[in-house]
Every structure is written in structure tokens, then in C-alpha cells.
């Protein structure tokens, strides 16, 4: 294994000379002798075989090579400081990672806002994010591959807290024949048409919402189902928040069912092991709850 020729201290002295404008100023900033700072920088240049600084009068100016390496050296020192901070946080009980498993129906913009809020307070904790469909999230809780989960069905032995309710609406392309029935449309007519269903990613999954249609196409994601139906392939129950733009653009239209056109599903937040969960898991859970509450989607649509 290769061993670095240079040290973090040498790079720190180099940066101080650049930022302070000279060796004497850098020495004062670092509370060291000027000779020790000069030695560290000279040693760094000698080890690299590259001139990083040129002294002009009392000023130390960067060479072209110095300009290139300065930014990388700042990243190097920053990484070292973050590594030490992570070690301290781990010693205090902060987890190295949080495994978050989320139902694919959970609004992506709410999830991303929560993760964006969590990042600056994560203390270096990684988030391992995984999306599943229907019982795939429950399976992750049962097989202990999730620390935190957002699911539509809480398996036995776990306790959930409602985050928000997702409205699913029956839609098809505006030119689909199901729209010709008008108010007379019923589930019986729909069962004669092609239905697009999202595959349950769980081991013991089942295709929730299937009407027993003569034809059924199964896809692996909600996004694919949306595109399939918008292109004219059959009908489906799809999350309102994911099809708003399609309805506005006119590529999808709600089916005129008297009853059952809209279905509300609750999504709940579950800590796999509440008593054993670390501080990062609890912080992320609180942020997810807050993001869901302020999203404006906490009420049934």
C-alpha cells in the first residue's frame, strides 16, 4: 500500500501562507515560528517536486501548480476534519448510517425536502435510501433491513404513526372508451378493459386494486404505470400528486365512476426498534414528520 509523501500539517501551513499573504503572517495566525512554517512548506514542495509558491517582496504568490493544488488541499483538510468529527459522533452514539425504506407512493418532493433538512445536522451519518412497493416495505421491517420505514401497511409487532394520506384516482387517457360511458360507468365495464397494475415488491406480494380485468399489465414502478396510462394503455388507480401535471396537460383524465373513483391510503412512519434506535434515526424521523405536516398533503384529497 502506498504511503503519502506529505502530511496534513504541511498542507495546513501552505494554505495559511496563501490565506495570510506571507510566511510571517501565517506563523502569527498558526501561533508558530516563521521558520517552522517555512520549513513545512519547503518540505512539501520538495516532496512533491513542484513549486507551489513564489516569493515576491514580502508576498508569497501561488504558481499555476499551486492554484490547482490549493483547492484540492482544502478538500483534503476538510475531509480529515469531517472524519475526526464522525469518529467523535460515533463515540457519542451517532449511527454511521440510517437505513430508510420508503413506499414508492410517498411524495418525492416531501422526501427530498426532509433529506435536505437532515443533511446539515446528520453529523456525517449516511442515509441508505430504498424504495419499495406495497408489502416490500413491510418485508424490510420484518427482515430487519430497515431502521426507519414509511409504509401503507404496518406489520404485526410494529407501531406506526400516520404521516399523511395519499389519494389514488382512477384515470385513463381522455380518448379511452371508458370515458364514453359517462355517469353510467361502473366497475363491471372497467373489468372488461386493460388495467395497468404496479407490482408489489414484497416476497409475498399481491397486486392491490386489481379488478380481475380481462387483461392486466403489471409494471414495476408507479412512474412506468403513469407513462403507460398516459400513452393510452388501459386505466389505473394512480397517486394524485404524481399525475396532476398529466391531467393539466390533458394526457390523463379522471374516470367518471359514481363510487370508488378515489381511494385514500394512509402512509405511516415506523421505527423498526424504537428502544434501540440511535439519535440520527430519531432526528430523521422527526424531520420526516415535520416535512409531511408542512407539505399540505396531511389531509385526505
Q: What is the rounded CA–CA span in Å between residue 238 and residue 224?
A: 11
Model confidence at 159: pLDDT above 50: yes
Region 102-114 average pLDDT: 94
Write down the pLDDT at residue 19.
86
Q: Phi and psi of 72, rounded to 5°?
A: -65, -35
| Whole-number percent of the chain with pLDDT over 70 | 92
* CA end-to-end span of the chain: 59
214 DSSP assignment? S
Q: Report H helices in the chain.
A: 8-20, 23-30, 34-48, 64-91, 108-118, 135-142, 187-190, 222-230, 240-249, 279-293
Q: CATH 3.40.190.290 region(s) of the chain?
A: 98-301
Write down the pLDDT at residue 300.
38
Q: What is the rounded CA–CA span in Å between residue 117 and residue 7?
A: 35
Model confidence at 189: pLDDT above 70: yes
Q: What is the mean pLDDT of the chain?
A: 87
Write down the pLDDT at residue 301.
35
- The 10s digit of each residue's pLDDT in 84-106 is 766 776 676 788 899 999 999 99
Q: Architecture of 8-91 per CATH?
A: Orthogonal Bundle (1.10)
Higher pLDDT, 246 or 92: 246
CB count in 10 Å sphere of residue 69 = 19
> Which pLDDT band, with edges at 50, 70 and 90, does 276 fall under?
confident
Model confidence at 57: pLDDT above 90: no
Write down the pLDDT at residue 101.
96
> Which pLDDT band, with edges at 50, 70 and 90, does 83 fall under?
confident
Closest CA to 84 of 28, 124, 143: 124
Class of the CATH-defined domain 98-301: alpha beta
> Which pLDDT band, with edges at 50, 70 and 90, does 203 fall under?
low
Write down the pLDDT at residue 188.
83
Q: CATH 1.10.10.10 region(s) of the chain?
A: 8-91
- The 10s digit of each residue's pLDDT in 32-53 is 999 999 999 999 999 999 999 8
Model confidence at 231: pLDDT above 90: yes
> DSSP letters along 66-88, please?
HHHHHHHHHHHHHHHHHHHHHHH
- The 10s digit of each residue's pLDDT in 59-74 is 778 989 988 898 888 8
Q: What is the rounded CA–CA span in Å between residue 253 and residue 8?
A: 62
The answer to whether 185 touches 193, Cβ cutoff 8 Å, is: no
Task: Give whichever of 45-49, 255-259, 294-298 has the largest mean pLDDT.
Answer: 45-49
Residue 240 half-sphere exposure toward CB, CA atoms < 13 A: 15
Amino acid at each position: 500500500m502506498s504511503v503519502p509523501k506529505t502530511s496534513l500539517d504541511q498542507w495546513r501551513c501552505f494554505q495559511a501562507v496563501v490565506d495570510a499573504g506571507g510566511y510571517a503572517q501565517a506563523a502569527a495566525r498558526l501561533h508558530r515560528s516563521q521558520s517552522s512554517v517555512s520549513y513545512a512548506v519547503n518540505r512539501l514542495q520538495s516532496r512533491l517536486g513542484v513549486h507551489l509558491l513564489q516569493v515576491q517582496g514580502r508576498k508569497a504568490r501561488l504558481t499555476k501548480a499551486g492554484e490547482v493544488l490549493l483547492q484540492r488541499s482544502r478538500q483534503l483538510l476538510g475531509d480529515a476534519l469531517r472524519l475526526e468529527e464522525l469518529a467523535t459522533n460515533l463515540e457519542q452514539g451517532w449511527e454511521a448510517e440510517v437505513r430508510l425504506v420508503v413506499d414508492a407512493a410517498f411524495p418525492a418532493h416531501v422526501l427530498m425536502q426532509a433529506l435536505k433538512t437532515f443533511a446539515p445536522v446528520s453529523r456525517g451519518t449516511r442515509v441508505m435510501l430504498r424504495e419499495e412497493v406495497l408489502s416490500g416495505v413491510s418485508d424490510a421491517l420484518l427482515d430487519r433491513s430497515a431502521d426507519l420505514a414509511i409504509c401503507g401497511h404496518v406489520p404485526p409487532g410494529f407501531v406506526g404513526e400516520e404521516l399523511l394520506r395519499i389519494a389514488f384516482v382512477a384515470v385513463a387517457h381522455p380518448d379511452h372508451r371508458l370515458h364514453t360511458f359517462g355517469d353510467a360507468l361502473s366497475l363491471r365495464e372497467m373489468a372488461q378493459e386493460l388495467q395497468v397494475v404496479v407490482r408489489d415488491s414484497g416476497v409475498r406480494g399481491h397486486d392491490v386494486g386489481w379488478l380481475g380485468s380481462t387483461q392486466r399489465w403489471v409494471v414495476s414502478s408507479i412512474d412506468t404505470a403513469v407513462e403507460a396510462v398516459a400513452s393510452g394503455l388501459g386505466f389505473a388507480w394512480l397517486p394524485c400528486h404524481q399525475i396532476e401535471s398529466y391531467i393539466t396537460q390533458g394526457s390523463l383524465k379522471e374516470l367518471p365512476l359514481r363510487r370508488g373513483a378515489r381511494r385514500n391510503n394512509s402512509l405511516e412512519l415506523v421505527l423498526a426498534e424504537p428502544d434501540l434506535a440511535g439519535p440520527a434515526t430519531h432526528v430523521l424521523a422527526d424531520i420526516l414528520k415535520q416535512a409531511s405536516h408542512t407539505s399540505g398533503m396531511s389531509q385526505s384529497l
